[in-house]
Structure 1
Amino acid sequence: MDRLHPFALQVPDIAGALRWHCSGFDVEIRYQDGARGMRRFDDTSLALAATRSNPP
């Protein structure tokens, strides 16, 4: 496997999660809004999605 394709984690606070990733790792924030964010580290992308208030 040459590359890990994007995957998503649900988090309660997008901005806080992205700050945490930036403080501990050398990452690039690719996108951020109130409901989702995307960060890149080497050849891996990680999407962060706001935690749903009503689980499926």
Structure 2
Amino acid sequence: MALLGQSRIASNLNQLAYHANIGALIVGAQEKEDIAEANAHLLAIRTLLVKALGKSR
């Protein structure tokens, strides 16, 4: 958890979202597939963390 918190993942995701919102990010079919896969992984990680913390949500 500590290493995840120290990583730049959140900052990198924020930059991607910013560029997508201003139209500067070109997203093709492969990129859309990669984003969907990454999203699925993040959801799985979140689910496991919530479960590990004994939370219901």
TM-score by length of 2: 0.28
**Structure number with higher strand proportion:** 1
Which structure: larger Rg?
A: 2
**Of the two structures, which has the highest relative contact order with CA contacts closer than 8 Å and spacing of 6 or more?**
1
**Structure number with higher helix proportion:** 2
